[in-house]
Every structure is written in structure tokens, then in C-alpha cells.
A and B are shown apart, each in its own frame.
Chain A
């Protein structure tokens, strides 16, 4: 079946540094990918929609200058957390649908655990 990968699976960084997380669709092309964030014991919250070849669209309350998204190819989207702070520590998960129209399966990546010291 379709697979979505993320890299790295975990990262620890110092406060003030930037961290890049990659999301790849391994055997299908994804013009759209999504980025979610999950805090401990909470559910996933949609952060933004990553669109291949155009700007990402962000959900209300998500700072676009802090969470930079680039979708440079049909199989890769990146999320960069800029000037990370401890409150940005979370589990970041991407997803990609395999087709169009809402009926196709959406695959999630395994997640990236970010810890900011």
C-alpha cells in the first residue's frame, strides 16, 4: 500500500534554532499534503495545507512565519520550525491523500517528535 515517510523520526534542539522536518510520499504523487501537530494526550490538530508549486495555507492561529512549509515536488513537503522554543515541542505528523475528491485513502507519516530544550 501507499506509504508516507517522515525524517527525522525525532529531533532534540536548543531554543532559538530552526528544525526542518521532511515528509515524503514514497510510491505516489501528492499535490497536497497536510501537517498536523499533536501534544501529549491530545488529538491531532491541523496546522496547514501544503500545496505543490504554491503557497501553503495555514489554519487559524498558526503562525506562517514560524512554521515555514515548502512543497517543492510532488513527493516532498518540508516543515521548518523557525526559532524553536520549548512550547513548540510536540509530535508533528504529515499526511497525504492518494487521489482527489475526499473518498481516497489518506496516509499518515509515522510522525516526528520535536523536543526543544
Chain B
């Protein structure tokens, strides 16, 4: 079965730096790979979606890359701010069904 690994349980960076989060998966590539933000006690909030045949997507300070050869996605937050502190989840939609397989998440802490 598909397994997803997100690089570290926690990432601690200084405000203004770029945060880079990693999502690795086993088995075959998903139709869509998505990134979500989750704050404590809240549901996930959609950030970005990237298709199997896309290499990169950007939205404001966010950038996602997708390498199906490495079976890896990188999620970047540039010019990070303390308000970016949250848990970031990688999720795979294997077959365009909207059924998502989530990674365990990376907790990001941006220090002022």
C-alpha cells in the first residue's frame, strides 16, 4: 500500500528564511498531490495542488515541486513569517477520486 513520509516531525526556522518541507511516497505516482495547512484543533486548509504531469506550481509565497522519478514533492514557503507556523500536510489523490491519503505532517515553527 502507498506510504507517505514527510521529512521531519518539526522544523524550526528564523523569520524571513525559506522553509522547505519534503514529502516522499512509495509505489506509483498519484494523479494529484496536494498540500494543506492544519492549525491545532482545526480542519486542514487547502494550499496547493499539483498534477502528475506538472513540475512546479506557485501561489504567492508558496511553491510546490513534484518529481515523479524521485517520488518526491517539495513545499517551499519564502520570506517565512511567524503566522506561517502550523502543521503542513502532504496528501495524495491516487486516481482523481478526491479520496486522500495523508502524510503525518511537518510542524513548522517560524521564530520572530
- The digit string for B36-69, where 1 denotes a CB below 8 A from any CB of A, is 1000011111100101000000000000000000
Shortest beta-carbon distance, B97 to chain A, in Å? 7
Q: Which residues of A contact B104 (CB under 8 A)?
A: 42-43
- Give the distance in Å from the alpha carbon of A105 to the alpha carbon of B32 in the complex: 11
Contact between B42 and A110, CB atoms less than 8 A apart: yes
- Given that A101-B96, A103-B32 are known contacts, is A43 also in contact with B46, CB under 8 Å in the complex? no
Shortest beta-carbon distance, B45 to chain A, in Å? 7
Beta-carbon contacts under 8 Å, A59-117 to B: 91, 93, 95, 97, 101-103, 105-111, 113
- Give the distance in Å from the alpha carbon of A20 to the alpha carbon of B92 in the complex: 29
For B44, give the chain A residue with the smallest CB separation: A108
- Give the distance in Å from the alpha carbon of A106 to the alpha carbon of B44 in the complex: 10
Contact between A44 and B44, CB atoms less than 8 A apart: yes
Contact between B43 and A111, CB atoms less than 8 A apart: yes
Shortest beta-carbon distance, B41 to chain A, in Å? 7
19 additional contacts (CB under 8 A) given A4-B43, A95-B100, A102-B96: A32-B98, A34-B98, A42-B104, A43-B89, A44-B102, A46-B99, A46-B100, A49-B99, A91-B41, A93-B43, A101-B96, A102-B93, A102-B97, A105-B46, A105-B49, A106-B34, A108-B45, A109-B43, A111-B42
Show 27 residue pairs from A and B whose CB-CB distance is below 8 angstroms, ordered by the A residue. A6-B43, A32-B98, A34-B98, A34-B99, A43-B89, A44-B100, A44-B102, A45-B102, A46-B100, A46-B101, A91-B41, A93-B44, A102-B32, A102-B96, A103-B32, A103-B51, A103-B96, A105-B49, A106-B34, A108-B36, A108-B43, A108-B44, A108-B45, A109-B43, A111-B42, A111-B43, A113-B41
Task: Please list the residues of chain B having a beta carbon within 8 angstroms of any beta carbon in chain A.
Answer: 31-32, 34, 36, 41-46, 49, 51, 89, 93, 95-105
